[in-house]
Amino acid sequence: MKRYIFLIFAPLFFISADSVGRPETSADDYVLIFSDEFNQPNGSAPDKAVWSCPPRSNKGWNRWVKDIPEVAYIRKGKLVCRAIPNRAHPTDTAKMLTGAVFSRKKFEFRYGKIEVRMKTNLKVGNFTSAWLRTWESKEQPLYSEIDIVGMMGNLPRSLHTVHSELTTKNPKHGTKNHFAIDCNVKKWHVYGVVWTPENIVWTLDGKKVGEYRKSKDPQLLSKGQWSFDYPLFIVLNQSVGSGGYAHFMPQYNDIYETQFDWVRVYQKRGSR
């Protein structure tokens, strides 16, 4: 398979020939630097040059993640992520097995525009999302998470949230960092984020639905109100809820499914 590499800034950015053959420029002068259209053969794993299965941990989104083809695979030009009852792996104590992929150490970017076309089930217990995050390290010590979109349970709405170092550690941070939009998530929509050094803007089918701005208050900044100046990687995942609310209670014998049609990342021409 041919691969196109554009050296924008470290690390490298990969563009598959299955997606596009050359950079494209949108009307607002953004240049396409990354795209996966998920056009691999039916039943195959997503492109391993870009995607890996995240490790399992005690977090809600990856507590039952499993690197098996039944929960993350290509079907008719879509990445399908599922949550299924655990009936085939008796040595695994997970009640369900869930699919997730991330681009950590393979594709990361700082600032730009990302769009994801996707749809999901609308049923009790559903928990799925497309998001950006960092992995805390000496080079990137502050927690950074930008949820391009999330869906919870059988609520017909899209959720758009940002988690900075401040909002993660201080529940009473007092800043607006969450937007819920009425939306039929069972149908295809394009969910996007425009990320700059000054703000983060969420879009739904190209229309602005929320904004989070970098504070001008030195005290808030010192507490990590803005921790989004590091490269972030992409996460696409299907999980299930953990209770607390009736609509978020997982149905352990059910099957949950989210389809991702494509993921595209752009940066302003000449940016670094």
Indicate which CATH number applies to the domain containing 131: 2.60.120.200
| pTM greater than the 0.85 cutoff | yes
* Residue 8 placed within a domain: no
Q: 113-149 as b/e, with b when 16 or more CB fall inside 10 Å?
A: bbbbbbbbbebbbbbbbbbbbbeeeeebebbbbbbbb
pLDDT at 171: 77
Residue 211 inside a domain? The answer is: yes
Cα 43 to its chain centre, rounded Å, is 22
- Is residue 195, in this structure, part of any structural domain at all? yes
Cis peptide before 11 (omega within 30 of 0): yes
Residue 15 falls inside a structural domain = no
Domain that holds residue 132: 24-268
Which residue from 241, 238, 233 is spatially nearest to 109, judged by alpha carbons? Answer: 233
Q: Is residue 9 part of a domain?
A: no
Q: Output the tens digit of pLDDT for each of the chain's 272 residues.
A: 333 334 333 333 333 323 333 344 455 689 999 999 999 999 999 999 999 999 999 999 999 999 999 999 999 999 999 999 999 999 999 999 999 999 999 999 999 999 999 999 999 999 999 999 998 777 788 899 999 999 999 999 999 999 999 999 887 888 899 999 999 999 999 999 999 999 999 999 999 999 999 999 999 999 999 999 999 999 999 999 988 889 999 999 999 999 999 999 999 987 65
Whether the CA torsion 51, 117, 231, 60 is positive or negative: it is negative
Residue 7 located in a structural domain: no
Residue 18 lies in a domain: no
205 lies in a domain? yes
What pLDDT score does 85 carry? 98
The beta-strand segments (E) located in 95-220 are 96-98, 100-102, 108-109, 112-120, 126-133, 145-152, 157-163, 178-182, 189-195, 199-204, 207-213
Query: What are residue 213's DSSP bridge partners?
Result: 199
Query: Strand, helix or coil at 139?
Result: coil
Number of domains observed in the structure of the chain: 1
SS3 140: coil
pLDDT score, position 27:
54
